[in-house]
Structure formats: structure tokens, C-alpha cells
A = this chain, B = another copy of it.
Amino acid sequence: MTNSTTRAGRAPGKRERLAAAAAKVLHEQGVEKTTLADIAREADVPVGNVYYYFKTKNELVEAAIDTHTQNLAGMIEALDALPTPGERLKALIAGWVEQRDTAVRFGCPTGTLASELDKRADGLDATVAALVRALIDWTERQFSELGRSDARELAVALIAAYQGISVLTNTLRDPELMVAEGRRLKRWIDSLA
């Protein structure tokens, strides 16, 4: 569905530049407030040219979600290199805390996107839902390996805790909220093992 590299002649990854720019700008400004011109500028591509690569704004949003999905896959791959499920979960949390300044300014990339797409008529909300589900599934496996029979519920609770603290960190513009919640969650993981 997505041609990762050049298709015919030139275009040294303009499509990829546009997708990456979309992911960034849509997160920072929100879907509705972002214009095609904004994305084109960020990708350093003339406005009219955008339509050669993406027929509609929706396709651009879809490409942005793809980018997020790939980022998630990369993160999970890195986490899976760690030896124990407890370490993997705590490394996930540490990653969230590291990104706290982004959360202060723009919230969680996935969460804000999911909230916004829910209000749109297109079927893109299902695509983000799949992304979120994938993260919960991975988290559930970690809790299972920890021997918890209520792994699904705990996984949902952990991801929800992150989504929620992202909203508060963003709304109250206070990175320390994320730091404190990260500490609390790590203690909680330790108490389960």
C-alpha cells in the first residue's frame, strides 16, 4: 500500500518526507488546524505538488499514522531486547518520562490523534485503534510473563495511566507530573513481581 522508496524516476523520498512532516505537524497543531500548506512547508515541498503523492488530506493523515505505527514497532523491538518483563515495562515507562517536554507542549502523539480522529467522519479512527491495541497487547504479554492472571486489565490500566498523565501534563503544562507518575508506576511494577 505504501511505496517506501522511489517508484519510477526521481523523487528522493519526497513521499517519505511528506509523511514524516505530516506526523510531526499533525501532532503539534492538531489535525483540523493543520493545512496542507503547513505540511508542505515542513517537508520543503511546493503545495501543489503534494497532491501528486497524496490524493487527499486524509491519505496524508493515514501516512502519518503509518509513521507512528513504525515508530512503535521500533520501540517494541528495542524493549524486547531486555531480559525480563519487569525491566521491559519499566523501560517503557522511562521512555515516556524522557518525552515529557513533548507531552507538556503537545500531549501524547497517539492519544491526541486518536481523540481527534474520533470526531471525523472518515474510518481512520479504526486505524489508530489498531495501533493502541497493539501496544496494549504487548503490555499484556509482559504482565502475563510476570505470572499475572489479570494481565489484560493491568495492561489497560498502565496504558491508561500514561494517556491520562499525558493529558494532565499537557493541560497543566507541568513536566513534573509525568516524572512523579513515572516513579509511582515503576514502584507499582516492582510491587507486582
Contacts and interface: CB of A to CB of B under 8 A. Distances in A.
B171 A164 contact: no
Interface in A130-147: 132-133, 136
Determine which residue in A115, A153, A161, A165 has the highest number of CB atoms from chain B within 10 A of its CB, and name it: A115
A30 B164 CA distance: 19
Contacts of A119: 29-30, 33
Given A157-B184, A184-B153, A115 B164 contact: no
A114 B161 CA distance: 17
Interface of A, secondary structure class, is: helix
Given A107-B115, A118-B107, A153-B184, A159 B163 contact: no
Nearest to A111: B167
B164 A165 contact: yes
Nearest to A160: B164
B33 A30 contact: no
A158 B173 CA distance: 18
**Size category of the binding interface on chain A:** 35 or more
Interface string A146-187: 000000010011011111111110111100010011001000
Contacts of A159: 164, 168
B160 A168 contact: yes
Contacts of A136: 168
A27 to B, nearest CB: 10
B167 A160 contact: yes
A172 B115 contact: no
17 contacts: A30-B32, A114-B170, A115-B171, A118-B170, A125-B171, A129-B171, A132-B171, A153-B181, A153-B184, A156-B180, A157-B161, A157-B165, A160-B168, A161-B161, A163-B168, A164-B166, A164-B167
User: Ordered nearest first, which 10 A-B pairs have the shortest CB separation?
Assistant: A164-B164, A32-B32, A160-B164, A163-B164, A30-B119, A114-B171, A160-B165, A163-B167, A111-B167, A160-B168
